[in-house]
């Protein structure tokens, strides 16, 4: 989401040595392009992994796939235009592209935040009201929530920006006089409405739901401790919960010998782990976007003369917010075992598609034969590992 972007210069800029300007440009390019590529690759990896692995095709992950698509579009349509201006210091396109960029920026950034809000509601019902979860969070309602998230984001982006409702009369005149510059100046009404819908309301919902989840998780942890106490530890409690698939695709029934208590304890632990992962995602979201929206509202409600802000600070606020779109896949890979294994399998299939690697994978999955006897086993494993490395290296180089 952007507020004010335009071309500016000063005599001091001309006095900077050429080598210093070049080094600054290269540094900016490397950092910003790395953020963009990380966001695109990571979020596409999330989408691909969910599509390829049946275990991940569960209700909660519908939100995560849609969130990953929104974050990918943030990288493609918001970060790229912002990076081109930040690196060159000049708007390279016309005003139509400027409006398109700002609309996409608001749309996809808001959609990303809305998805996090939907995920918090999903976790709220899974932890706080597990008996109601299968009836409340149905596939149909999930798609309705996703449609609302995208629709609301669309209503506060393309419609007000392309109709000119978002800005002031003075800025409209300025745009007519400067057709080759891109400055997104909002009026006070749009600033309050857009920031409330894009951040303040979703953030309030997330804080409330995760506060309730934390309290309930703490209570359930105490119950688990009592349940897991030995025969001398007091009464053996049975925790009842609905028999539905958990948020990461594993059935509640562990095996034929599992007792109801063990099944429910396992389910609760998995739900708590999922809530913890998504809580970390929410924390990263607040840290990334809160500074931007504080600046956005403050500078919109007061005059620029009264609320000056250095250009480098504005750039940092934008890109700290954008970084949030790159963090979610990293959080999944670090904290969630199912996603971590799916990512690993997807990357293996992507970078190890040649015949020697497939042969190594086949032997690795089905050990036996000559590779399973005596010293040959170690020798075969070493050869397979070497072949695997060579194949991967050739694939990456070519």
Report the alpha-carbon angle 335-336-341, nearest 5. 120
Mean pLDDT value across the chain: 79
The burial of 64, by beta-carbon neighbours within 10 Å (0-12 exposed, 13-18 middle, 19 or more buried), is given as: buried
pLDDT at 116 over 80: yes
pLDDT at 189: 94
pLDDT greater at residue 147 or residue 363: 147
Tens digit of each residue's pLDDT (9 = 90 or more) over 188-227: 999 999 999 999 999 999 999 988 988 887 887 777 777 6
Q: What is the pTM of this model?
A: 0.76
What are the structural domain ranges in the chain? 11-350, 352-397
Transcribe 218-287 into DSSP letters: HHHHHHHHHHTS-GGGS------------TTS--S---TT--HHHHHHHHHHHHHHHHHHHHHHHHHHHH
pLDDT at 375 over 50: no
Q: Rounded to whole angstroms, how far apart are CA atoms 314 and 296?
A: 10
Distant-in-sequence, close-in-space partners of 313: CB < 8 Å, separation ≥ 6: 295
Q: What is the band of 103 on the pLDDT scale with cuts at 50, 70, 90? A: very high
Over range 63-76, report the average pLDDT: 95
pLDDT at 122 over 70: yes
Q: Rounded to whole angstroms, how far apart are CA atoms 299 and 3?
A: 9
Transcribe 342-392 into DSSP letters: HHHHHHHHHH--SHHHHHHHHHHHS--GGGGSHHHHHHHHHHHHHHHHHHH
pLDDT at 369 over 80: no
Q: Rounded to whole angstroms, how far apart are CA atoms 107 and 113?
A: 10
Q: Which two tokens stand for residue 16?
A: 């900077």
Tens digit of each residue's pLDDT (9 = 90 or more) over 250-302: 444 343 344 446 666 666 666 666 667 777 888 898 999 999 999 999 988 88
Which of 76-80, 116-120, 332-336 is predicted with the least confidence, judged by mean pLDDT? 332-336
CATH architecture of 11-350: Up-down Bundle (1.20)
**Best mean pLDDT range from 265-274, 318-327, 332-341, 345-354:** 318-327
């Amino acid at each position: 989401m952007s507020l004010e972007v335009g071309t500016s210069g000063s005599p001091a800029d001309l006095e900077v040595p050429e080598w210093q300007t070049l080094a600054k440009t290269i540094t900016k390019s490397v950092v910003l392009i790395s953020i963009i590529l990380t966001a695109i690759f990571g979020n596409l990896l999330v989408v691909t992994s969910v599509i390829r692995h049946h275990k991940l095709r569960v209700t909660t992950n519908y939100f995560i796939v849609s969130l990953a698509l929104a974050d990918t579009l943030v990288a493609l349509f918001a970060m790229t235009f912002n990076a081109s201006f930040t690196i060159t210091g000049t708007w390279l396109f016309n005003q139509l592209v400027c409006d398109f960029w700002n609309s996409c920026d608001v749309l996809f950034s808001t959609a990303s935040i809305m998805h996090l809000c939907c995920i918090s509601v999903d976790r709220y019902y899974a932890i706080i009201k597990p008996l109601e979860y299968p009836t409340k969070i149905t596939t149909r309602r999930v798609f309705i929530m996703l449609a609302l998230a995208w629709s609301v984001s669309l209503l506060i982006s393309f419609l007000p920006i392309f109709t000119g409702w978002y800005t002031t009369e003075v800025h409209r005149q300025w745009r007519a006089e400067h057709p080759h510059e891109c400055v997104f100046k909002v009026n006070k009404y749009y600033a309050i409405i857009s920031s409330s819908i894009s951040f303040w309301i979703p953030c309030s919902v997330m804080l409330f739901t995760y506060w309730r989840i934390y309290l309930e998780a703490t209570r359930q942890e105490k119950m688990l401790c009592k349940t897991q106490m030995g025969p001398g530890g007091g009464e053996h409690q049975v925790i009842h919960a609905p028999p539905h698939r958990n948020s990461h695709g594993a059935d509640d029934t562990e095996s034929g010998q599992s007792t109801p208590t063990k099944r429910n304890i396992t389910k609760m632990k998995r739900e708590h782990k999922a809530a913890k992962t998504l809580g970390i995602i929410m924390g990263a979201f607040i840290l990334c976007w809160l500074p931007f929206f504080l600046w956005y509202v403050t500078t919109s409600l007061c005059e620029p003369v009264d609320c000056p802000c250095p250009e480098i600070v504005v750039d940092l606020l934008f890109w700290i917010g954008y970084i949030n779109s790159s963090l979610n896949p990293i959080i999944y890979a670090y904290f969630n075992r199912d996603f971590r294994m799916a990512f690993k399998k997807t990357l293996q299939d992507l970078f190890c598609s040649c015949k020697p690697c497939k042969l190594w994978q086949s032997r690795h999955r089905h050990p036996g034969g000559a590779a399973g006897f005596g010293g040959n086993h170690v020798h075969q494993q070493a050869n397979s590992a070497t072949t695997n490395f060579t194949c991967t290296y050739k694939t990456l180089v070519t």
